Amino acid sequence: MWLLTKLISAFFVVYGCMITFNPALLPKVIEYFKGGEKMYIGSGVKALFGLIFLMAASECSIPGIIRIFGILMLIGGVSAFALKKERIFKMFDWWLAKPAKTLRLVGITTIVVGIVMIISV
């Protein structure tokens, strides 16, 4: 299970690099998930990642950090099913209005979070 956690964390680092070097990617991803029921698939995957992190935490070198990220991802994934679509779309639109500089910062933050998770596994 820890290997799966490490792979998910590595995915965050790669995704963060992609956003950092190509900030136009994040609005494309948001637009993709904004269409139809795809946002629920994305939220389900996020919740699944959170569950994987929570189950793998006991096998990790710093379980507290993995548990924190697992709880945050689980809450984030489940909340999309609890919120109204209009509210979620407003959040998507808010992110779409952000300048490239802010999106690069999101990418850098994602890289840092991914590295912290890799070290914690």
pLDDT in tens, 78-116: 998 888 888 888 988 898 899 999 999 999 999 999 999
Structural domain tally of the chain? 1
Q: How confident is the model at residue 14 (pLDDT cuts 50, 70, 90)?
A: very high
**Distance from C-alpha of 113 to C-alpha of 121, rounded to nearest angstrom:** 12
**pLDDT at position 68:** 94
72 has pLDDT over 80:
yes
**Distance from C-alpha of 106 to C-alpha of 9, rounded to nearest angstrom:** 16
- CA 68 to chain centroid, in Å, comes to 13
17 has pLDDT over 80:
yes
The whole-number average pLDDT for the span 38-57 is 91
**DSSP single-letter state for residue 83:** S
**Distance from C-alpha of 111 to C-alpha of 94, rounded to nearest angstrom:** 22
Domain that holds residue 87: 2-120
